[in-house]
């Protein structure tokens, strides 16, 4: 089971943020405006398991724009929204032509989860739904999982040091309910269900958008052959991943551990053999 987030219909209402905090009793920190559009949390943290990102792009920075700037590096802060609609005082001719790219970000529940691989206490586990959750009662706050996440999702709370992140509402889906964020989303930007079904639905949606001229529509985190084995929470984006603050090619850092241990074993055997040879040669 997993999430498919269609950013093309996200309106940035933050209903998902509120529903997540209310259902999971997540602390209310992270509710202050940051001076960056309507973004109030800035990133996923131990106290913000859903983060609605707002990316402002002036005209000319869209996916269809020609030139060497495919990731919208010309994006700029356009100022905080005024009390009245744009152009109300200045007229239509003075309105700023820009677009908002909105995305409700969340833990990706990776198929190959680095946080799960490095946890020394077994606090992190894979559920029967294929999701990854933290058992906070046995987390020792070591922080290994924080550095092992290629998305920078998992985080520790300052007051207790333990790691916290989205559980994909494990208690709700275990009872046959929809996760709180998806239940609260008014536009169905956040969709929950079996991953294969969601992937098929996402491919169709990309086809529809491209047929309507949205050439930048693409899926992120849906490919089982990527660096994390595919995500349990994937996205339909309207621009490059970097524009949304997502890594373009995430790779789980523990993927090469087997080969590294094999090489270390070979090196250890070689050193042991050399020591034996030196000892035998010296005694003779």
**Between these two residues, 58 and 190, which has the higher pLDDT value?**
190
**CB count in 10 Å sphere of residue 105:** 25
141-169 mean pLDDT: 90
> Which among 106, 37, 57, 73 has a CA at the least distance from the CA of 246?
106
- Is the pLDDT assigned to residue 240 strictly greater than 50? yes
Q: What angle do CA 2, 110, 28 make, to 5 degrees?
A: 70
Confidence of residue 91 (pLDDT cuts 50, 70, 90): low
Q: What is the mean pLDDT of the chain?
A: 81
Round to whole Å and give the CA distance between 21 and 17: 6
137-149 mean pLDDT: 90
pLDDT for 69 equals: 38
Helix (H, G, I), strand (E, B) or coil at 232: coil
Confidence of residue 84 (pLDDT cuts 50, 70, 90): low
pLDDT for 86 equals: 52
Residue written as token pair 């906070």: 136
**Between these two residues, 7 and 259, which has the higher pLDDT value?**
7
Give the Å distances, CA to CA, from 202 to 166, 189, 213, 248.
Answer: 22, 11, 17, 19
Confidence of residue 68 (pLDDT cuts 50, 70, 90): very low
202-218 mean pLDDT: 90
Q: Which two tokens stand for residue 44?
A: 């996923």
Percent of the chain with pLDDT over 90: 38
Mean pLDDT check: name the lowest of 103-112, 122-131, 266-275. 266-275
- Is the pLDDT assigned to residue 225 strictly greater than 50? yes
Q: Which two tokens stand for residue 111?
A: 């198929």
pLDDT for 189 equals: 94
Distance between alpha carbon 33 and the CA centroid of its chain, in Å? Answer: 21
């Amino acid at each position: 089971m997993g999430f498919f987030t269609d950013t093309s219909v996200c309106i940035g209402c933050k209903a998902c943020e509120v529903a997540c905090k209310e259902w999971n009793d997540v602390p209310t920190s992270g509710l202050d405006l940051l001076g960056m559009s309507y973004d109030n949390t800035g990133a996923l943290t131990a106290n913000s398991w859903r983060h609605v990102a707002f990316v402002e792009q002036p005209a000319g920075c869209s996916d269809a724009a020609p030139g060497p700037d495919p990731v919208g590096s010309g994006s700029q802060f356009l100022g905080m929204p005024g009390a009245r609609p744009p152009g109300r005082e200045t007229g239509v001719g003075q309105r700023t032509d820009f677009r908002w790219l909105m995305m409700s970000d969340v833990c990706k529940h990776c198929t190959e989860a680095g946080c799960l691989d490095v946890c020394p206490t077994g606090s992190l586990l894979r559920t029967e739904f294929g999701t990854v959750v933290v058992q906070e009662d046995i987390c020792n706050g070591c922080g290994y999982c924080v550095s092992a996440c290629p998305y920078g999702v998992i985080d520790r709370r300052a007051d207790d040091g333990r790691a916290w992140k989205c559980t994909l509402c494990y208690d709700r889906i275990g009872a046959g309910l929809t996760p709180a964020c998806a239940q609260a989303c008014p536009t169905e930007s956040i969709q929950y269900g079996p991953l294969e079904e969601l992937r098929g639905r996402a491919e169709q949606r990309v086809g529809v958008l491209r047929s309507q001229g949205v050439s930048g529509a693409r899926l992120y985190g849906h490919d089982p052959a990527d660096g994390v084995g595919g995500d349990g929470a994937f996205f339909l984006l309207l621009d490059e991943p970097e524009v949304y603050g997502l890594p373009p090619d995430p790779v789980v850092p523990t993927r090469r551990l087997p080969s590294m241990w094999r090489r270390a074993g070979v090196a250890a055997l070689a050193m042991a053999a050399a020591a034996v040879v030196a000892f035998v040669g010296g005694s003779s």
